[in-house]
Structures are given as structure tokens and as C-alpha cells.
Structure 1
């Protein structure tokens, strides 16, 4: 039995998988191409045959990367929204967290995976991530009193997508964020004011 560096075999395997996925992510970000087993083994500091204990093939590795990238994105945005004090700020947190992830290179990584990964797996992962992201955004907009929360959520996402492209083309995050706030904040403030009026708070 090989020597392990964790209290249990399962914990050791999970830790090694994390090392391999992080190494694969960094290689993909650097090259824009699927990482080869040879390059991955060198980056992770493992013997190449050891990789077959975790991934049966190159497609299996790509599928594992897809399953790792998309949920992590959703979880990061969800944490930001959960930390916001009210529904208005939940929407702001949604937009800001997405743009920060783009600035960190996560969107480019997801795009690269969508280009090179297994088609069905990537499509399913993308759809699942989109649904996970839009659902709490729609809930926050509905709570604010948006007349059509689903449509408003898609429009907010359109702003996020356009802002994301600006960041990827080199515009600093802070500059993009200033423009995004100018567009989104008045809409959210109006919803918050109208909700306050409807509840007799103003």
C-alpha cells in the first residue's frame, strides 16, 4: 500500500485530487490547451502512472475539471450574496462577485473548458451553473418587487456579460465597476423605494 500523507486513504486521495485539479487549472490558464498527463504529472510532482489512479483518460480529466470549475464559481457568488445585508445589496454582490471572478481569470478558464471539454458535459455544466446563478438573483429581484424578476435577472446578466468582456479585453475592474454601478444602482434604488412605498415605510 503506498504511503499516504493524510489520516485516511480517502482524505489522502481527496487531497491529491485537489493538487491535480489545481495543477490542471494552472496549465490550462497558461496554455489555453488541455493539459497532457506528462505536463500535469510534472506540475503536480507525481509520477505519470499515478495519474491513472485518478483519471482514466484525458477526457476523464477534462470532465473532472468541468465539474470542479462551475460549482466553485456558483459557490463563490452564493457566498457573496449571502453576506449582503439586504436584497438590494444581494443583487450588487451578485454582479460584483461575478466580475471579480472574471478579473481573476476564472471566466477565461471556463471559456477554455467550454471550447475543449467534452461537449455534453460542458453544456450540462454551463446550464447548471447558469441556473444556480440566476435563481438567487431572480429571488432577490422578486423580493425587491421587480415586475418580471426572470426577465430582469437576464438583463442584469447581460450587463455582467458585457462588463466581463471589457475586463477580458483589458479594462481595469474598478473602471468597469464604476460604469456598471451607474447602470444598475438606479434600477435597484427605484425598486427598493417602490417597495418601501408599498409597505408604507416611506
Structure 2
């Protein structure tokens, strides 16, 4: 019988599954989706290639699992950050701040790598659905702010946020990026600016 590295077989299996997912995410982020193979994932996790198939029927299933797990941590952080905000502007600030802090930690990298991957259409649609769910609170806060054309305004602010995340990814200090991002967002949302 194989040696287990946990108190129970179930715990051992959960740890191995998590190790495989972490290995796949690491390969996805550093080398791209095409490099996510059973052999590479098994090797990165320190397990045999055949071990991958004990948990995931195929690379497509493994990538679908990564899609499902790429968003919950960020969504929880965003929800917690926004729950204490009293006004739409505070909710927007909380969303932008938390998103940039998560970007500085690299939390967005798996989702970004998945967006660039050649995924099965159903997996891509699920990725887009999860992304829409993630930005829904931000879009609602922009709408609640009472700005003209809130959908377009949210899209444009989303573009600002993408640019800010890219700046953080390039190494610009997150606090400097955050300060400038909030300043620009506040200008965009200011009443009576002729928008």
C-alpha cells in the first residue's frame, strides 16, 4: 500500500489534488496553457504522471478546475472589502484598492493566463461568466453613483483598472499606482464635470 502523508487517506488525497492544482497553476502562469501536461504537472508536484489521471481525467478537466478555483479567493476579498462601504464611491474605492492589492500579490495571474489560453468553448464561457460575476459589484456601485451612462463609465473605469494592474505587474509600486488610479476614478465620477 502506498505511504500516505496525512492523518487520513482522504486528507492525503486532498493534499495531492491541491499539489497538482498548484503545480498546474504555476506552469500555466509561467509557461502558458500549452505547457500544462500530465507529465509536467506530475513532475512539478513531485508525483508520477499517472497520479494526475487519478484526480483529473484530462488536461481540459484540470484547466476547468483551475477556472473554478481562480476566482473564489479574490471574490471573498472583494466582498469583505466592500461590505463596510457606506456610499457608492466608497464601494468603488474598496473594489479598486482590493483588486490592485490582489494584483500586487499575483492573485490575478491564473485568470489572466486562462484568458490568453486556447480553452474549450464551454470552459471559456465559464471563465467569462465568473469574470462577470466578479465585476458585478463594481458595476453596481458605478450605477449607484448616479453618473451618466453608467455601463460605459464602468467599462472605461475597468480599462483604467486593467492599466493599473499592468503597471503593478511591471513593478510600479502598488501604493503609487493606487493613488493615481483613485484620483483618476474620482475625476471620472465627479458630478458636474460635463460628462
Aligned to 1:21: 21
The equivalent residue for 1:56 is 57
Number of aligned residue pairs:
190
Report deviation, 1:55.
Answer: 0.9
Q: SS of the residue aligned with 1:106?
A: coil
Change (3 A) 1:159 1:122: farther
Deviation at 1:8, TM superposition (A): 7.0
> Is the partner of 1:49 in helix, strand or coil?
helix
Cα–Cα, structure 1 residues 93 and 58, in superposed 2: closer, same or farther, change >3 Å?
A: same
Give the equivalent residue in structure 2 for 1:43: 44
- How far did residue 113 of structure 1 move? 1.9
Aligned-partner SS, 1:5: coil
SS in 2 for 1:63: helix
Equivalences for 1:25-174 in 2 at 5 Å?
A: 25-33=25-33, 34-174=35-175
SS of residue paired to 1:52: helix
Deviation at 1:94, TM superposition (A): 0.9
* 8 A contact 2:147–2:191 mirrored in 1: no
Would you say the 8 A contact 1:59–1:117 is kept in 2?
no
The equivalent residue for 1:182 is 183
Q: TM-score, normalised on structure 2?
A: 0.78
Contact persistence 1:63–1:117 (CA under 8 A): no
Per-residue CA distance 1:146-200 (angstroms, 9 max, x = gap): 3443333222212101212222333222221121121123455649xxxxxxxxx
Q: Deviations over 1:50-101 (max 9, x none)?
A: 2211111222222221222134433332332224354322111111222222
Using the alignment, how far apart are the partners of 1:157 and 1:100 within structure 2? 16
Gaps of 5+ in 1: 192-202
Alpha carbons of structure 1 residues 37 and 156: separation in structure 2 relative to 1, 3 Å: same
- The separation in 1 between residues aligned to 2:31 and 2:143, in whole angstroms, is 42
Q: Distance in 1 between matches of 2:117 and 2:136?
A: 27
Q: Following the alignment from structure 1 to structure 2, what is the Cα–Cα distance between the partners of residues 143 and 178?
A: 23
Let me know the Cα RMSD of the aligned residues.
Answer: 2.9
Per-residue deviation, 1:31: 2.8
CA contact (8 A) 2:81 2:98 kept: yes
